[in-house]
């Protein structure tokens, strides 16, 4: 009996947060409450959940994928496979230009001496350029992921006057796992190899069992965000 009650409670909880995320996505993608909108995805360990939810509302939503040219090959393969699987019709790969990279990181070692400058070059600026013309952007941040993210709200403003939409703010790891299972979503191949949060290859490590999900990101430094996200209603733009 207790097991049945617990199972029912879990199902009800998942249905509630799923519906709440879908409601926000419909308001944004169908009703247009946030103007012209793009979805930003890293095609990482948990990205399939937000992409699947968005695909249930509008498969033609512009999806921006920032390829830093430091990605795992598995991520690039997964990006194509997942986009096909969900039949997303407008996935746009965004990168710093070869000229910019030659000028600022010719040996590809900037991440070792100044990871903030590297993220600024390879992620923040290309994304800012790609977001030109959009009024808002959807992302997959969750409150449980870190103290920096504990107070995120469904809709926030960034310093460029754009709205940032956070449909997954209430989701925790159990909800994510349950949703993957319920919809039989394809997993990023590195998840089975111990990677629970996946960014660029040089800055991502395996996570020990029971450790914080994002502890494998910039594991040897104090850095926790790539610089494209909002803290206290400001984009943290970390320029060297
Ligand atoms: S995560 Fe690492 S390699 Fe990727 S852009 Fe940031 S510092 Fe550079």
Tens digit of each residue's pLDDT (9 = 90 or more) over 118-166? 999 999 999 999 999 999 999 999 998 888 888 999 999 988 889 999 9
- Site to probe by mutation for ligand 1, drawn from 116, 203, 217 as the one with most ligand atoms within 8 Å of Cβ, is 203
Ligand 1 contacts CB of residue 70 (under 6 A):
yes
Q: Where are the beta strands (DSSP E) in 124-235?
A: 136-138, 155-157, 163-165, 230-231, 234-235
Please state, rounded to an integer, the average pLDDT across all residues of the chain: 89
**What percentage of the chain carries pLDDT values higher than 90?**
73
Q: Is the pLDDT of residue 195 over 80?
A: yes
Map out the domains of the chain with their CATH numbers. Answer: 2-235 (3.40.50.620)
Token representation of residue 221: 């430094």
- The secondary structure of 36-79 as a DSSP string is SEEEE----SSHHHHHHHHHHH-TTS-EEEE--S-B-HHHHHHH
Higher pLDDT, 113 or 208: 113
123 lines ligand 1 (CB under 6 A): yes
DSSP state of 133: T
What is the mean predicted confidence (pLDDT) over 37-54?
Answer: 98
Residue 119 appears among annotated catalytic residues? no
Question: Which atom of ligand 1 is nearest the CA belonging to 122?
Answer: 5
CB atoms within 10 A of CB 177: 12
pTM for the whole structure:
0.87
Q: How far is the CA of 157 from the centre of ligand 1 (A)?
A: 25
- Whole-angstrom Cα distance, residue 192 to residue 202? 19
Looking at residue 238, its pLDDT comes to: 36
Q: Alpha helix (H) ranges present in the chain? A: 2-29, 47-57, 73-86, 98-104, 110-113, 115-119, 125-130, 173-182
Residue 71 has pLDDT above 90, yes or no: yes
**CA-115 nearest atom, ligand 1:** 7
Segment 193-213 shows an average pLDDT of 85
d(CA 63, CA 65): 6
Q: What pLDDT is attached to residue 236?
A: 45
């Amino acid at each position: 009996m207790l097991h049945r009650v617990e199972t029912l409670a879990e199902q009800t909880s998942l249905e509630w947060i799923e519906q709440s995320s879908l409601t926000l996505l419909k308001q944004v993608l169908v009703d247009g409450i946030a103007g012209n909108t793009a979805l930003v995805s890293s095609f990482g360990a948990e990205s399939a959940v937000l992409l699947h939810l968005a695909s249930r509302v509008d498969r033609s939503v512009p999806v921006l994928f920032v390829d830093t040219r430091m990605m795992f090959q598995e991520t690039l393969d997964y990006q194509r496979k997942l986009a096909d699987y969900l039949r997303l019709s407008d996935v746009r790969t965004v990168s710093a230009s070869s000229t910019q990279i030659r000028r600022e990181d010719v040996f590809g070692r900037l991440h070792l001496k100044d990871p903030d400058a590297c993220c600024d070059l390879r992620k923040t600026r290309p994304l800012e350029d790609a977001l030109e013309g959009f009024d808002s952007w959807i992302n997959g941040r969750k409150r449980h992921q870190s103290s920096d993210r504990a107070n995120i709200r469904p809709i926030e403003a960034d310093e460029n006057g754009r709205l940032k939409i956070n449909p997954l703010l209430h989701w925790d790891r159990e909800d994510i796992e349950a949703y993957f299972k319920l919809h039989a979503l394809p997993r990023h191949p590195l998840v089975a190899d111990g990677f629970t949060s996946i960014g660029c290859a040089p800055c991502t490590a395996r996570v020990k069992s029971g450790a914080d999900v994002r502890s494998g990101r910039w594991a040897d430094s104090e850095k926790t965000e790539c610089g494209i996200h909002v803290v206290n209603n400001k984009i943290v733009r970390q320029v060297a």
